[in-house]
Amino acid sequence: MNRPSLFSRTAPWTAIAVLIWASALAKEDSRSYLNGVSADPTSVLAPPPAAGSPEEGADLQSVREVVQSAESNSIVAALSEKKFSCLSFTSAIGQCFESGKLPKTERFLEHVQEDASAIADEAKEHWKRPRPYSVDTNLAAGKFEKTFSYPSGHSTEGTALALVLADLFPDKREAILAEGRAIGWHRVQLGRHYPTDIYAGRVLAQAIVQEMKKNKRFEKDFAEAKAEIAAAKH
pLDDT given for residue 39 in this prediction: 55
**3-state helix vs strand vs coil in the chain, percent to 5:** 65, 5, 35
Quick: pLDDT tens for 39-58.
Answer: 578 889 999 999 999 999 99
Quick: pLDDT tens for 93-129.
Answer: 998 899 999 999 999 999 999 999 999 999 999 999 9
Residue 144 has pLDDT above 60, yes or no: yes
Which residues neighbour 83 within 8 Å (Cβ) at sequence distance 6 or greater? none
Question: What is the fold, at CATH topology level, of the domain defined by 54-232?
Answer: Vanadium-containing Chloroperoxidase; domain 1 (1.20.144)
Q: Distance between CA atoms of 163 and 188, rounded to whole angstroms? A: 21
Residue 8 has pLDDT above 70, yes or no: no
Quick: pLDDT tens for 11-24.
Answer: 333 333 332 332 34
Residue 209 has pLDDT above 90, yes or no: yes
Quick: pLDDT tens for 157-166.
Answer: 999 999 999 9
Q: Distance between CA atoms of 43 and 39, rounded to whole angstroms? A: 8
Q: What is the CA radius of gyration of the chain?
A: 18
User: The whole model's pTM is what?
Assistant: 0.87
Residue 2 has pLDDT above 50, yes or no: no
* Domain coordinates in residue numbering, the chain: 54-232
